[in-house]
Amino acid sequence: MKPSTADFYERVYRVVRRVPSGKVVSYGHIARFLGTGRSARLVGYAMNASHGDPTVPAHRVVNRNGVLTGKHFFGGSTVMQDLLESEGLRIEDDQIVDFESHVWDPMDHLEQEDFLKGE
């Protein structure tokens, strides 16, 4: 069966929900994990669509540079930063300090097969 856009969104949310507190993941990581690879933009698009879903910690998703590119979509100006800082992260100039040490790569913690299996 051909995966629909809605299914893609759903998978993105499922991955983001697995991101533990104090950790972050990039759009590219998620895209690669889901097999779409080149469509990192779609991940960002999915996040935009999930804006109303409180079960999706969208503040833990940043770009590959560790920059809070989506903070403007959190209503406030420092909401996203505040959320991350409350989880133990440190933000400086809209960028996560020591970003690479706080990355939670789904590839290193989840198995695609288990994930798709319904985990």
Partner DNA sequence: CACCTGACTGAAT
Partner DNA sequence: AATTCAGCCAGGT
Contact partners, residue 25, CB within 8 Å, separation at least 6: 15, 16, 19, 60, 61, 62, 103, 104, 105, 106
Residues in contact with DNA, total (CB under 7 A)? 31
Measure the CA–CA gap between 59 and 73, rounded to whole angstroms: 10
Residue 89 near DNA by CB under 7 A:
no
Sketch the per residue contact string, 12 through 41, with DNA: x for CB under 7 A, - otherwise.
--------------xxxx-x----x-xxxx
The span of 51-59, 81-89, 92-100, 102-110 binding DNA (CB under 7 A) equals 51-59
Rounded Cα gap, residues 72 and 74, in angstroms = 6
Instruction: Give residues in contact with DNA (CB under 7 A).
Output: 5, 26-29, 31, 36, 38-45, 47-48, 50-51, 58-59, 61, 63-65, 69-70, 72-74, 80
